[in-house]
Amino acid sequence: MPPVRGRLTHGAPLAPLVWFKTGGAAEWLFEPADADDLASFLYALDPGVPVMALGLGSNMIVRDGGVPGVVIRLGKAFAKVTADGLALTCGGGASGILVSSTARDAGIAGVEFLRSIPGTVGGFVRMNGGAYGREVRDILVEAEVVLRSGEQRTLALGDLGYSYRHSDLPEGAVVVSATFRGEPGEPAAIQAEMDRIAAAREASQPLRSKTGGSTFANPDGDKAWRLIDAAGCRGLTRGGAQVSEKHCNFLLNLGDATSADIEGLGEDVRAAVKAASGVDLRWEIQRVGIVA
Ligand SMILES: Cc1cc2nc3c(=O)[nH]c(=O)nc-3n(C[C@H](O)[C@H](O)[C@H](O)COP(=O)(O)OP(=O)(O)OC[C@H]3O[C@@H](n4cnc5c(N)ncnc54)[C@H](O)[C@@H]3O)c2cc1C
């Protein structure tokens, strides 16, 4: 492995770092000191070694055989958010809560929805994260990325090829920061909107469970949860995994699930929905690594 200033760990368990709390280890886990450390590492790394970014693992199944190559996790050096006028400059490792509360304090409205998505700016940009009628493409100005080659580049909104919960971010690229833009707003009104969103979340989603967020993207003109419910899958189990009773587009690790249980249950649901309604659900959760 090339020399680094940050932390490089061989055989690092990933289960503690992801919401499902399942899965194998990263062959290498790299926590860079800063963007230049990441860029020089990727430049020197054998181009044949696969690279994957990890945020809070809130939309990810890490398979039980682990992840070959290098997993990159952005730590404190990438977790700052600053406001300037209506613009927010956010480190790729900053949380949605920090982005939305910094926006509130600066009187910037329109990013309240990030309060409810439990991930990092890098994950939001990659996934076009969204909730309550807004998504990242509505607020993104540009993103700073380090490509797999080590090249540092600024990507404008139009370069990211956004569609519903999808971007064309190149394979192996790491988002190290992003600039969002909102509208002028009153901090008290922004806080009220954040509170409304948080309460709606609490009522409808299993937020305190080992889960991975929405399992399947909503198909055009329909809701994945409605199709799953209609196919009779609410509460369905496989090994230690269950389809949430509270929100049936969420899968749960009841305590001793493997990633194979969770992914297998998702495939059971896809098959049941296909049989009941003819719809092919698309996985929204990212499934990474190798089957044990
Ligand atoms: C309870 C719960 C509720 C949720 N509600 C929503 C919701 O309302 N709306 C919504 O959109 N999502 C929701 N999610 C899913 C998830 O929070 C989002 O997809 C979020 O964007 C993932 O962020 P993350 O940083 O945890 O990414 P991870 O889950 O770690 O990774 C997801 C993908 O992003 C990539 N990635 C992560 N960081 C970077 C980076 N720095 N650079 C490049 N790529 C990166 C990963 O490689 C992977 O492909 C929910 C999840 C949970 C658990």
pLDDT tens for the chain, residues 1 to 292: 999 999 999 999 999 999 999 999 999 999 999 999 999 999 999 999 999 999 999 999 999 999 999 999 999 999 999 999 999 999 999 999 999 999 999 999 999 999 999 999 999 999 999 999 999 999 999 999 999 999 999 999 999 999 999 999 999 999 999 999 999 999 999 999 999 999 998 888 888 899 999 999 999 999 999 999 999 999 999 999 999 999 999 999 999 999 999 999 999 999 999 999 999 999 999 999 999 9
DSSP state for residue 257 in the 8-state scheme: -
pLDDT at res. 206: 86
Distance 22 CA to ligand 1 centre (A): 16
> Whose CA is closest to 218, among 210, 209, 227?
227
Minimal-distance CA residue to ligand 1 atom 4: 213
How many CB atoms neighbour CB 286 within 10 A?
16
Q: Ligand 1 pocket check: which of 21, 29, 58, 121 to mutate, most ligand atoms within 8 Å of Cβ?
A: 58
Cα distance between residue 88 and residue 139, in whole Å: 10
pLDDT at res. 28: 98
Q: Ligand 1 pocket check: which of 54, 134, 177 to mutate, most ligand atoms within 8 Å of Cβ?
A: 54
pLDDT at res. 208: 87
In what helix (H) or strand (E) does residue 188 lie, and over which residues does it extend?
helix 187-204
The total number of residues shown for the chain amounts to 292
Structure tokens at 181: 């833009």
Distance 117 CA to ligand 1 centre (A): 8
* Catalytic residue annotation: 165, 214, 284
175 HSE (CA, 13 A, CB side): 31
CA 187 from centroid of its chain's CA atoms: 27
pLDDT at res. 290: 98
Cβ(167)–Cβ(149) under 8 Å?
Answer: no
Cβ of residue 117 lying under 6 Å from some atom of ligand 1: yes
Cβ of residue 213 lying under 6 Å from some atom of ligand 1: yes
pLDDT at res. 141: 98
Minimal-distance CA residue to ligand 1 atom 40: 122
Distance 120 CA to ligand 1 centre (A): 7
What is the set of domains in the chain, with CATH numbers? 7-76 (3.30.43.10), 77-204 (3.30.465.10), 210-288 (3.90.78.10)
Q: Ligand 1 pocket check: which of 72, 126, 284 to mutate, most ligand atoms within 8 Å of Cβ?
A: 126
Helix (H, G, I), strand (E, B) or coil at 258: coil
Cβ(216)–Cβ(201) under 8 Å?
Answer: no
pTM for this predicted structure: 0.95
CA 265 from centroid of its chain's CA atoms: 21
